[in-house]
Structure 1
Amino acid sequence: MSTLGSDTVTTSEVATELEMDKTGIYIVSHKPLDSDTGLRKRDDAVSYDNPGFNSDSGLKLKNEHNYDRPTGFSDTPYRGMGKEDLLRHSSKPLWRRLRYVCMSIILLGWLALIITVVALVLIYPRCRAPRQHEWWQKTVVYRIYVRSFQDSNGDGVGDIKGITQRLDYLSELGVGTISLSPVFETVPNADTEFDVTNHKAIASEYGTLADFESLLNETHSRGMQLLLDFIPNLTSDQHVWFQESRNPSSPKKNFYVWQKDKPNNWLSVYGDSAWANDSSRGEYYLHQLRVDQPDLNLRSSEVKDELQAILQFWLEKGVDGFYIRGSGYLFEDYDLRDEMPSSANLTQNPNDYDYLNHTYTYGLREINDMLARWRYFLDEFGNKTNKYRMLFADIMGATELTMSYYGYFNRDGVDFPLNRFCLDLKQGDDGNVVSGVVSRWMDNLPAGRWANWMGGDENSNRIAGRLGGNMTRAFLMLSMLLPGTPFYYYGDEIGMVNSDLAPGNAWERQQPMRAPMRWDNSTYGGFPSNCTVGCTTWMTVNDFTGQNAVEIQKTSKSSLMHLFKNLTKLRGQASFEYGDYFRSVVDSSVMSFVREYDGEKGFLVAINFGSGTETRKYTDTHDTIPESADVELTTENGVKLQVGGTAQCASLELGPYQGVVLSWEYVAKEL
C-alpha cells in the first residue's frame, strides 16, 4: 500500500494510486512494479520505472493534465492501451484493410442470404389455396322416384311425407342432395308425371304444398339440399294455358306451336305424326311426345315470362335448384323444314321415330340461349339470397352437343348436363371400355367446368342389373372418387334390380326400374307404413331375389350400403374434394388414377374391371406414388388387401372386380 507523499511503493501491490494536483485522476496498471523501482516525485512530473517505460523520460504531466507519450513506449497494441494509442494503431493500413475485409464478408453474406430466400420463395413449389367449390360440387345427388320411395299413409303410393320420414336414413348414407321426380299437379289418374296442369301446385296423391314446405325445412335442417324437376317444353292438354290457346282470339293463342295445315314429316317420339288436329281451333298443334302433351312455344316472350315465374315461385319457397327435363325438345326449326331419313335406320318403319335424323326438332342451338337465360336468372336470385342455386339438364346426343350445355359463345349454361354415357356400360365391359367412358367426358370437359357420373334414373335399367353385383361395387368406387358429382337412383345403394315387370310403353308409369323401395324383407318391403296384410301398392314390390333390404344391409360391414357410406365419407377428404386428377395404369383390365393436392394426403384409386386377378406396378406412373402405402378402403372382394394394412405399390395385386384406395402422407417436392 502506498501513502501519498511517500518516496517508496510496495512492489507486491497490483495497483498504484497517484494524486496529482488534486485532480482526482488515478492511473492504474495491470502490471506489477519492479521491486527496485520507486515512485519519484518531481517538480511538475511523475515517472514510473516499469519494463514498458523509459525510466529517464517517464510519463510527464504538463500543462494541467496534458500527457506526453512515453518516448520508450512499445508500438505493439495490448490490453489496457489508452484511447489515443488504440486509435493510432487501428489507423494502420493492416488493421484498416482487415476491417474492410470483415465488413465486406458480412455484407456479402447478408446479400447472399436475401438472394437465397427470394429464390426459394419464387422457385419452390408453393401450396395453393384450396379451390372454392359450391355445395353441389361436394355432394352426392340421390334421385328419388317419389311414387316408389315411401308410402306414409298406407294408400299404396309413395308421397312427400314418406320422404320426410326417411331423411335421417339419407343423411346417414352420406347423401347431400335430393332430386325429386315431378310432384306437380297433373290430370287425375294420369299415366305420367308430365301431364302437368299446374306447375305451382302439388299433386294431391303426393301431399300438399304444406307437406312440401315441411320436407324442404327438414332437409335444410340436416344440411342437405332439395331439387325439383322443371318441365318447360310441354304441358297437359288439360292445362288452362292450352284451353285458352285453343281460342285463336285469346291472348294465349301463341302459347303453343300451331299450324293451319300439317306442315312437315316430323314424327312423335312414340311414333306417327308429331302434329295433331284440334277440332276447337281447327288447326294442328305440335306434340313431340304424347298427343295429350302439346309443345309450348318458347319463342313467345309471354311463355318465357310464365316459365320464369314458375322458377321464381319455387325459389321463393327455398328450393335449391332444378333439373330441366326434356331440354332437347325446347325448340324446333323456325321454318318447319322436313327431316331427312337417318342413314343408320333406313330399314325401320318410316313411322318410327328413329327413322328420321331429327336435326330440326332436337338439340337446336336456341336451347343454349334459353339455358343461359335461366342460369342468369338463378344467379341473380342467388346473389340476393346469398346462396347458389343449381341447374342441370338431361340431353341425349353426341359429345359436342352434350358439352355445349355447359355454355355456348362464352355464356354460362347449366352446371352440368347429365352424363348418360355412363348408362351405356354393361356387364363384361373391361378396363378400356370403362376408361373410354371416363375419358370421353374428362377430355372434352370445357375449362373450369364440372363433371358428373350417373348410376341410373327412372328411365334406365338399374345399375346392379346392368353391371352385376361385383362390377357395380367397382363402378361405385370409380364414380364416387373421380372429379365430379355422383348421381345415383334410390335403391342403388342396396343393389336393387329391375322388377319382373315387362317394359311397357315409355310413357306409362309402371316401368321395371320403378318398383317400390325395399326397406325390409317383409312381404311389402316396408314400403307402405303400418301395413302387414292385404296391402295394395301402386306397383308390385320387387322380390329382390338374392339381395338384402336396407335393414339387413345396415348391420353388414361387407354390404354394398356399407361401401356406399364409406365412399361418401372418403369424398370429404381434401384431395378428393378439390384435388388434382392424374391417370395412372389403364389397360384392358385395370382403371386407376391419383388424386392429390399440395399439403394434403395423396390417394391412388386402382380398380380391376377384369374377371381374373391382376398385378400392376404403379410407382413409375406418377412421381408421388411411394413404394408402399396404407390401405384406405377396398370394395371387399379381395382377401389380400385389408383396410388399415399396407400395400406394395410396385406390385399391387387386385382380385376380380376389386377396387382399392391407397393413401400416403404429403411429402414436399424437391427443388
Structure 2
Amino acid sequence: MPQGSECNPSHMWWQGSVMYEIYVPSFQDTDNDGIGDLTGVLNRIDYLKNIGIKAIRLNSVLETRDYLHSHTPITNYTAVDPMFGSNKDLHLLAAVLHEKNMYLLMDIPLTFKTNPNLGADANHTVMPASEKNVRQMPLSHISEVLHYWLSLGVDGFFFPDITMFMTNPELLDAMHEWRNTLDHFSHGVEHRVMMVPLELLSSLKVSNSIQLDRVLDLVDLIDAPVDLTGSAQTIPEVLNSTTAWDNHASLPWINWNMGGIWRERISDLTHNHPLGRTFLLLFFPGTITLYYGDEIGLSEASKDNGWSSIMQWNENVNAGFSSAKPWQSLSRGWEEANVNAQNNTIVALKAMVTARQEKVPMYINGIFDYKGDYHPTKTSNYRVRYADADLIVIDRFFPRRNQFAVVANLGQNVLTKDLSHLYFGGSVLASSHGHAGYVKFRSISLQPGEALVCILDL
C-alpha cells in the first residue's frame, strides 16, 4: 500500500522498495531430497522480513521436463514443478507474505523447447530439447496463465525473454490483455505489476518508437541490470541513461539489480565483499532487487547450472541448506560465507535498507511538479558529485528534507580523500564496514569495497 504520511509523497508497494530474487532449488530444502522447495522459501520469510525485503521474486518454478538441467522448457504453465512442491504450497507462500505486508512476483518465460500445457491436467507432447526447437508461447494464451496465478495470490510477473517477441505483431495486443488481467485483480492500492527488461525498450526505441510509447503505458517496472564491478567513472553515464526511461511521473520505475541467474556472482568478479556495492546500489533512484546470497558474498562452486549457488545459512552440515547431500556442491569458504557467521553484515544491510525505506530522498525517484499539468513533470533527485576510477560520491535530496550522500570505494586499496569542496561533514546513517558517528569530509578514509551513507551537515 502507499507509504508515507500527509507530508511525505506516497508511493505504491513496488515503487522504491527492495525485492529479493530467489532461485528456489538452491535456497532451502525441507523435504530432504537435496533440492530447495517452496516450503523452504516460506520458512525463511522472517529472515527476509527482518532485512526489510518488501517482495520476493521467484525465478521460474513452472513445471519442466528436467528443471535442474534447464528451467526454461516449460511443460505446464499452470503447475509448479513437483520438485518444489505444489500449487497449494505457492498459494500458502503468497498468503503468508501478504499477512506480513510483503508481496510475491513470478518469472514467466515465454520461450520453450517443448510443447507446453496451459491447463494443469492437459496432455502434452515432448519435443527434442535442442536449441533448434526453441518455440514461442502463443501470446494470446498468457492472459489465462496470469489469471490463474493471480487467483492464487501472486502480485506480479516478470517476462525475462519478452524481447524475443519484439517483432511479433501480436505483442502489443497481448500486453494490453495482460494489463487488463492484472488490473482485474488490482483493488485500490493493491496494484498488480508487470515488469519487462530494459532490453525490450531499448530495442523498440530503435525500431518502433510508437509501439515503445504504448508499451511504456502498460508496464510498471523496467528491469535494469547494472555492472558495479568496473571503474566508478562509468556509473554516472549508466545512471543518467537508465533513469531517462522514467523521467516523467507517469512512466514505469527502474528496477536496478547487479545479480541474477544468468549473471556471474558479484563476489566472483571482485576481490571485496559485495556489501559496499550493495549499499551503492541501494542508493540508486528507483526500485532495487537483491539476488539471493549476495548479502553474504556467496560465490559459485560451478557455472554448469548458471549462477545458482547453494544458499549457505550456518556452519552446520551442508551449510544448513539440507540434511541430504545438496544437488550441487557448496561454494568455497562456506564456513565463513554464511548467514549465521555474517551476522554483522546482515545487521549493516538491514540498517541500509531501513534508511532507504524511511528517508524520502532515498525511496522516492524524483521531484514532481504538479503545477497546471495533468501529468506532472519530474526532475531527478540525485547528483553524482565525484567519480574517479575507484571512488564515487552521490547525493540524494528532496524539498524540505535532509540531504544524504553515499561515498563508496570500489577499488582494491585504502583511500583517503579530501572531499571538503563537496560537503563539510555528516552523521553516518549506515556503513558496510562499521563506521559510526560523525565524519568530516576534509579527510575521509575508506577501506577497499567500503561504502557509507551520511546525513549531510550542509
Aligned to 1:543: 332
Task: Tell me how far apart the structure 2 counterparts of residues 143 and 406 of structure 1 sit (CA, whole Å).
Answer: 29
State the shift of 1:398 in Å: 8.6
1:658 and 2:457 are equivalent in the alignment? no
Alignment length, in residue pairs?
429
- Structure 2: any 5+ residue segments left out of the alignment? 1-5, 367-380
Please give the alpha-carbon distance, in whole angstroms, between the structure 1 residues aligned to 2:8 and 2:211.
23
Partner of 1:203: 81
Cα drift, residue 152 of structure 1: 0.4
Q: Deviations over 1:252-276 (max 9, x none)?
A: xxxxxxxxxxxxxxxxxxxxxxxx9
Q: Distance in 2 between matches of 1:465 and 1:479?
A: 17
Task: Report the CA distance shift for 1:562/1:368 in structure 2 as closer, same or farther (over 3 A).
Answer: farther
**3-state secondary structure, aligned to 1:451:** strand
Local SS of the residue matching 1:551: coil
What's the counterpart of residue 630 of structure 1? 427
Alignment partners' CA distance in 2, 1:210 and 1:223: 20
- Report what 2:256 is aligned to: 453
**Are the aligned partners of 1:142 and 1:488 in contact in 2 as well (CA < 8 Å)?**
yes
Cross-structure match for 1:394: 197
Residues 138 and 370 of structure 1: CA distance in aligned 2, closer, same or farther (over 3 Å)? same
Partner of 2:153: 318
Bigger Rg over Cα: 1
Partner amino acid, structure 1, of 2:326: T
Question: 8 Å contact 1:605–1:660 — kept in the other structure?
Answer: yes
Please say if 1:491 is aligned against 2:293. yes
Moved more, 514-523 or 483-492: 514-523
**CA distance in structure 2 between the aligned counterparts of 1:130 and 1:141, rounded to whole angstroms:** 22
1:643 pairs with 2:432: no
Provide the C-alpha distance between the structure 2 equivalents of 1:331 and 1:664, rounded to a whole number of angstroms. 45
Label 1:245 to 1:582 Cα distance change in 2 as closer, same or farther (>3 A). same
The 3-state SS of whatever aligns with 2:63 is strand
Q: Give 1:378's match in structure 2, choosing from 175, 182, 185.
A: 182
CA drift at 1:150:
0.6
State which drifts further: 397-406 or 223-232.
397-406
For the 8 Å contact 1:142–1:178, the answer to whether it is kept is yes
Counterpart amino acid of residue 326 in structure 1: D
1:467: Cα distance to partner?
A: 2.5
What is the TM-score of this pair, normalised by structure 2? 0.83
Residue 146 (structure 1) shift:
0.6
1:475 to 250, 258, 277: 277
The structure that is strand-richer by fraction is 2
| Deviation at residue 204 of structure 1 after TM alignment | 1.4
Q: Are 1:518 and 2:298 an aligned pair?
A: no
Q: Encode CA deviations 1:209-260: one digit per residue, 9 max, x unaligned.
A: 221111111111111111112223446236479x9999xxxxxxxxxxxxxx
Aligned to 1:307: 142
Structure 2 equivalent of residue 605 of structure 1: 406
2:396 is aligned, of 582, 586, 595, to 595
1:307-352 deviation line (CA, Å, top 9, x unaligned)? 1111111112221101113111125567xxxxxxxxxxxxxxxxxx
Partner Cα separation in structure 2 for residue 460 and residue 315 of structure 1: 29
CA distance in 2, matches of 1:376, 1:524: 45
2:42 is matched with 164
Counterpart among 374, 385, 392 of residue 584 in structure 1: 385
Match of 1:462 in 2: 265
Q: Which residue of 170, 185, 189 corresponds with 2:63?
A: 185
Equivalent-residue separation in structure 1 for 2:37 and 2:441 (angstroms): 50
Rounded to whole Å, the distance in 1 between the matches of 2:168 and 2:95 is 43
- Contact 1:405–1:413 (8 Å) recurs in 2: no
Name 2:32's counterpart in structure 1. 154
Distance 1:541 1:140 in 2: 27
The CA deviation string for residues 45-104 of structure 1, in whole angstroms up to 9 with x for no partner, is: xxxxxxxxxxxxxxxxxxxxxxxxxxxxxxxxxxxxxxxxxxxxxxxxxxxxxxxxxxxx
Percent identity over the alignment is 24
Residue 575 of structure 1 pairs with residue 379 of structure 2: no
Secondary structure of the structure 2 residue equivalent to 1:524: helix
Q: Which residue of 1 is the match for residue 378 of structure 2?
A: none
In 2: Cα distance, 1:138 partner to 1:189 partner: 33
Matched-pair contact (CA < 8 Å) for 2:315–2:338? yes
Q: Using the alignment, how far apart are the partners of 1:185 and 1:527 within structure 2? A: 23
- Where does 1:186-585 land on structure 2 (aligned, <5 Å)? 186-187=64-65, 191-234=69-112, 236-237=114-115, 239=117, 290-298=131-139, 304=140, 306-330=141-165, 332=167, 367=171, 370-383=174-187, 386-394=189-197, 396=199, 399=202, 401=204, 407-409=212-214, 412-420=217-225, 422-423=226-227, 425-426=228-229, 429-448=230-249, 449=251, 450-470=253-273, 472-499=274-301, 501=302, 503-504=303-304, 510-511=305-306, 513-528=307-322, 531=323, 535-544=324-333, 547-554=336-343, 557=344, 559=345, 561-572=346-357, 573-578=359-364, 580-585=381-386
Structure number with greater CO (CA < 8 Å, separation at least 6) is 2
For the structure 1 residues 520 and 406, does the alpha-carbon distance in structure 2 shift closer, same or farther, using more than 3 Å as the test? farther
1:436 shift after superposition? 3.1
For 1:137-152, list aligned pairs within 5 A. Answer: 137-152=15-30
Gaps of 5+ in 1: 1-127, 247-275, 279-286, 299-303, 335-365, 505-509
Distance in 1 (CA, whole Å) between partners of 2:312 and 2:291 is: 14
- Report the secondary structure of 1:419's partner residue: strand
